[in-house]
Chains A and B, each alone.
Chain A
């Protein structure tokens, strides 16, 4: 498989704190990369760096042949990399359909086309969102809001989708649905980078898992090997 995104020596500092220290990543097209690490390890910072919300201090982010480090988030989204937020940042007063249409407008100026893309995406995502398309976003439950966020990002037709704790706070059943959705997204040809705290989930869906601790990458292996990696056990349990 070909490499779709390559991160080289990515370093991000906040004053004296090094949030991401010299991180290298190779993401193959069509894979699901799980990103794990203890609280404060720098997972969300890494997402913010790749999606362009933070400017990185050192390093390169190569997407295709292009170094996208320093690009604005909207430009990175146009190029095909988009992300969701850990704290749900969807709409309040826009309807579900309208919000997903806003994502769809990323690739078109036509309202009719955007509406079609949005309706298709809502059906694809499930969670009953298609039926709830005329509700206001603020009236949705947490799991619906998270699904809406995924729908609006999918409507931008990304090549790489980054999910920041898409399953935190969901019930067991909802988590099962979310896993199905993530697998379905991968089958549609989208590469995924997933930050998740729930271990069973990440172990069951990821092709490869990358562990970061205190801003440093400490392992990048298949889920089976990660579970037995002494560095990882040490980072999590402190022994």
Chain B
């Protein structure tokens, strides 16, 4: 029988590797100044944030959502509209976007959490499609035309960096570090334990005093907040958004794939997933170009099939001790 040691004492030295990785990511832009490489890294950070956010609700709490793009889009649209129409600072817009996403999450979560397993998945899928349809037909947010964000002067305060990509690189890295730290602390807290217990069995969880609905709402709120923040940064980075970019179901699926590939329900799994999947999808897209549209997806799909077959708990298990 295999024994997985979960004693905290054994985990102490496990901090060393993440710390060294973080350090090398901090100094990386000093050595590599290639703009495209930096773009790929920013995309990796943004997707790592959304996958880690999905991980709170899906990986830990076991509520598989295929509608998380709605939070991403709401975050992107809230900060963009506030900036365009009301000149609200993007940082404030980002926080307000997060709050809007939390409100949406509670409104969606309240009815949807009555459903379990695959019915829940279908409901989140439908909710995501509904939100996208709303934004496609809403004149105030310019419908399918999308929003063009004003180009302001470069400043950290205005979250604008048009001359080099270091600004967004460090914003992405900083946010990802904060989120990963929070998720790590979460797993050591009552909330984290309750999330995991809900994933195991809801009836048993209720019988040992866990208000499952309340804690699931907490989980979806945290997920929504961080997904929306990533959405705001994404909009501010690209300076243009439309519903097909930030709301599609394919994007929601991508969030799940990244987390599942890296290892759902682990602290570093989703980050690892983003570091593997995003470069692959970017590289294959560039390599095959417009002529080979969809070929990148072939690689993508093949990789997922292999992971599902040989490392169903995610690639992170390659780095864990005592794996099968």
Contact = CB atoms under 8 A, between A and B. Distances in A.
Given A73-B206, A85-B203, A85-B204, A102 B211 contact: no
Contacts of B205: 102
B280 interface: no
B204 A139 contact: no
B4 A114 contact: no
Contacts of B204: 85, 89-91, 149, 152
A82 B203 CA distance: 12
Nearest to B1: A139
A90 B203 CA distance: 10
Interface in B182-196: 188-190, 193-194, 196
Given A90-B200, A105-B193, A77 B208 contact: yes
A102 B4 contact: no
B190 A134 contact: no
Contact of A109 (B190, B201, B206): B190
Given A73-B203, A89-B203, 19 more contacts: A51-B207, A53-B207, A72-B206, A74-B206, A84-B207, A85-B203, A85-B204, A90-B201, A90-B204, A91-B200, A91-B204, A92-B200, A93-B199, A93-B200, A97-B6, A102-B197, A106-B208, A134-B6, A135-B1
Nearest to A51: B207
Interface string B198-240: 0111011111111110000000000000000000000000000
A105 B190 contact: yes
Given A74-B212, A82-B208, A99 B197 contact: yes
Contact of B209 (A82, A98, A101): A82
Contacts of B206: 53, 72-74, 77
Interface in A75-124: 75, 77-78, 82-85, 89-95, 97-99, 101-103, 105-106, 108-109, 111, 114
A101 B211 contact: no
Contacts of B196: 91, 93-94, 98, 102
Nearest to B203: A89
B207 A83 contact: yes
Contacts of B208: 77, 82, 102-103, 106, 152-153, 155-156
A136 interface: yes
B3 interface: yes
Interface string B260-303: 00000100000000000000000000000000000000000000
A105 B188 CA distance: 12
A224 B144 CA distance: 79
Interface of A: 51, 53, 72-75, 77-78, 82-85, 89-95, 97-99, 101-103, 105-106, 108-109, 111, 114, 134-137, 139, 149, 152-153, 155-156
B247 to A, nearest CB: 33
B193 A134 contact: no
B6 A98 contact: yes
B203 A103 contact: no
Contact of A91 (B7, B189, B190, B197): B197
A74 B6 contact: no
Contacts of A84: 207
A51 B208 CA distance: 11
A98 B193 contact: yes
B5 interface: yes
Contacts of B1: 135, 139
Given A95-B6, A111-B188, A153 B200 contact: no
B193 A102 contact: yes
Contacts of B193: 98, 101-102, 105, 111, 114
A112 B193 CA distance: 13
B24 to A, nearest CB: 31
A108 B189 CA distance: 11
A53 B203 contact: yes
A74 B211 contact: yes
A90 to B, nearest CB: 6
Of all A-B residue pairs in the complex, the 10 with the closest CB atoms, nearest first, are A106-B209, A77-B209, A89-B204, A91-B200, A73-B206, A102-B197, A103-B208, A89-B201, A74-B211, A105-B190
Nearest to B214: A74
Contacts of A135: 1, 3-4
Contact of A111 (B2, B189, B199): B189
Contacts of B194: 102, 105
Given A101-B193, A102-B194, A105-B193, A85 B200 contact: no
A73 B201 CA distance: 14
B211 to A, nearest CB: 5
Contact of A85 (B190, B199, B207, B211): B207
A72 B214 CA distance: 12
